[in-house]
């Protein structure tokens, strides 16, 4: 992860506000103690013909992957807290349209270490992840904090 | 039109690279000597619920109009050379994905005063406008430099 100067950070904030996504998804992980992972990511897309711009951003940011999705669209993705956190911290001051999503993801990542032995705390962060999805207009996802809550209750991890 | 600082200009360049449009359209104008206008514009759209961000950009840039398109989308538009030119000149150094479009529109606007008595020169600028549309993936517009060329030939303004 590179350190971005102000101009780079402001530009990338604008780009993500315009066409990017700041995401927190709940992913089923049978081998995890709490059975779920909160997967955070920052995505940027371009038409396949303009994939070289995504490679330029990847080089500049110093992390992330670029792939041809196969549907005419290429995608640049920064996935996972280790890279999403330092990236978002750098662009957050310049974000406007998606600043709320960034703040929520930063909050999730800062509090995630506290959830190791606390299903209740983990569930709180799942609710923050619901908020991120709501801000992203994704109102019909299958996995929400309610899915996690129901499973935690079934497993006796939290009270009904 | 306000003077933007570096951070503002870089942010807006990123935003336009992500989700904006830099456009040069050929518009029929029966009362014009050359029968066509090259109308330049810079557009930004957001879902209607986020129209307040567009109003924020309008205030910051100090020009342009914001309207509810009526289809759930709100649009911020800077239209016409008098405002598009100083705006593009400020953000051009920071543009990447749409820098070519910006350079072409700047070139059109700088040369437009020279076309007053020259259909040939005007036709050259119409060809630059075609290039802008091509870069914007608009490959099926009805009015191109060929439309203008055909009319100029019919009117005897240029040789066949």
Confidence of residue A141 (pLDDT cuts 50, 70, 90): confident
A32: helix, strand or coil: coil
User: Does the pLDDT at position B139 exceed 80?
Assistant: no
B78: helix, strand or coil: strand
What ipTM was estimated for this complex?
0.93
Name the residue among A7, A19, A94 with its Cβ closest to that of B94.
Answer: A7
* Cα–Cα dist A60/A15, whole Å: 14
* Cα–Cα dist A18/B88, whole Å: 17
* Cα–Cα dist B11/A48, whole Å: 24
Contact A2, A60 (CB under 8 A): yes
Query: Which residues on chain B are in Cβ contact (under 8 Å) with A98?
Result: none
Residue A117: closest CA among A160, A157, A153, A159 = A157
* Cα–Cα dist A56/B70, whole Å: 37
Among the ranges given (A1-10, A88-97, A136-145, B45-54), the one the predictor scored with the smallest mean pLDDT: A136-145
| Dihedral class, residue B60 (left if φ above 0, else alpha if ψ from -120 to 50, else beta) | alpha
Distance to chain B for A51, nearest Cα, Å: 10
pTM here is 0.94
Query: Which residues on chain A are in Cβ contact (under 8 Å) with B14?
Result: 10-18
How many whole angstroms from its chain centre is CA A105? 6
Q: What is the pLDDT of residue A160?
A: 80
Name the residues of B annotated as catalytic.
18-19
């Amino acid at each position: 992860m590179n350190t971005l100067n102000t101009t780079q950070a402001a530009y990338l904030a604008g780009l993500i506000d315009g066409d990017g996504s700041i995401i927190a998804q709940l992913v089923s992980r049978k081998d995890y103690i709490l059975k779920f992972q909160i997967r955070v990511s920052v995505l940027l897309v371009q038409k396949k013909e303009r994939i070289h711009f995504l490679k330029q951003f990847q080089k500049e940011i110093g992390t992330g992957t670029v792939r041809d999705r196969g549907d005419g669209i290429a995608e640049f993705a920064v996935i996972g807290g280790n890279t999403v956190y330092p990236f978002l911290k750098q662009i957050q001051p310049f974000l406007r349209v998606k600043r709320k999503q960034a703040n929520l993801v930063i909050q999730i990542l800062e509090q995630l270490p506290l959830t190791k032995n606390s299903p209740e705390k983990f569930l709180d962060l799942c609710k923050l992840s619901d908020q991120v999805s709501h801000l992203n207009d994704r109102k019909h996802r299958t996995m929400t904090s309610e899915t996690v809550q129901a499973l935690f209750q079934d497993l006796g991890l939290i009270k009904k």
